Amino acid sequence: MAFPSLTFGIVLLFVGVIVLPGANAKASRAFFVFGDSLVDSGNNNYLATTARADSPPYGIDFPTRRPTGRFSNGLNIPDLISQRLGAESALPYLSPQLRGNKLFVGANFASAGIGILNDTGSQFLNIIRMYRQLEYFQEYQQRVASQIGVARTRRLVNQALVLITVGGNDFVNNYYLVPYSARSTQYSLPDYVKFLIVEFRKLLQRLYDLGARRVIVTGTGPLGCVPAELAMRGGRYGGCSAELQRAATLYNPQLQHMIQGLNKKIGRDVFIAANTALMHNDFISNPRAYGFTTSKIACCGQGPYNGIGLCTPLSNLCPERNLYAFWDPFHPSEKANKLIVEQIMSGSKRYMNPMNLSTILALDAST
């Protein structure tokens, strides 16, 4: 079963700081997370779904050494971004602990298995699809407004950091899920990509309408090169799936073009394009240069490349997680996540165009 695959339409927003009731003397900013299992920090633990990471060995390298619902051996991308900003991680929106002053930290709305399209991940049944995540975001704002008022809530949202990671499941868990899937009979691949871009544009516009003012959008990673796809489609020599790689090659340039058009409509560079395909390809094509022994075999799994099924207590488990680019058949290891976040923070224009997150934060702090 695949969850998000290596894609994340990441959206990061940051505009400034805001001091809230109960905060320390130093200013704080909220962090909101939307998307799939690459960024789900435990919402699915509260849902009746098979798309869960709530049993060992998930979380084996997390500070508590226990599974949390993150599809990682340790920290995921939102955790690592929060660390770089000197903030605590946002709680899952469904967590009963998200109340009081914890609301001012932000919230994680992500849910493993979802995609841009509402029919993506239907096999997982009860998951929080994108339209519902955005509804929860509105609900969140109402909860905060009841404590600090509408105007201050608007400022909190305008000045927040937002991450949205979505898109890979629309290929892995929809178009290519089974031969002759409904979407693959309805659309040729080029037409399906165009359809996804149109629908993703609506999501980004909606985030803007809800207060987003600085948005970093990343496309898919190398969809055909994750261990699950190597096991299922890699053939005798374990090469990346040509068809899934073609999907990523079609999708990513059109996503960047859409972002440019949306910026032109708005009249400012609200949206920043992040080349996550390049970020992943760096350590997939040359793993030893980044301290990995392999980018083909998952640390946790079974079958060829440890790419079959899920990571469970009965799976093969590598003793040194830092030597593996992939934790399970679909998700990067914590170490790989750190490399991705490093490029988001400080990568050149090849990775982050027109600027990286560190530059964004510096610019916004000076205004």
**pLDDT tens-digit series, residues 228-237:** 999 998 766 7
Q: Which of 40, 79, 170, 328 is catalytic?
A: 328
Catalytic residue flag (residue 328): yes
Catalytic residue flag (residue 89): no
Residue 18: the pLDDT is 42
Q: pLDDT means per 10 residues in the chain (367 residues)?
A: 46 44 51 94 97 97 97 96 92 97 96 97 96 97 97 93 90 95 97 98 97 84 93 80 95 92 90 87 95 97 95 97 97 97 94 88 83
Q: CA-to-CA distance for 46 and 151, rounded, in angstroms?
A: 32
Q: Which residue has the tokens 């469970």?
A: 312
Q: Which of 5, 37, 72, 315 is catalytic?
A: 37
Q: CA-to-CA distance for 157 and 99, rounded, in angstroms?
A: 17
Nearest to 33 by CA among 17, 13, 51, 50: 13
Q: pTM (2 decimals)?
A: 0.91
Q: Which residues contact 309 (CB under 8 A, 6 or more apart)?
A: 1, 301, 302, 303, 315, 329
Catalytic residue flag (residue 41): no
- For residue 22, what are the CA distances in angstroms to 79, 102, 159? 23, 10, 18
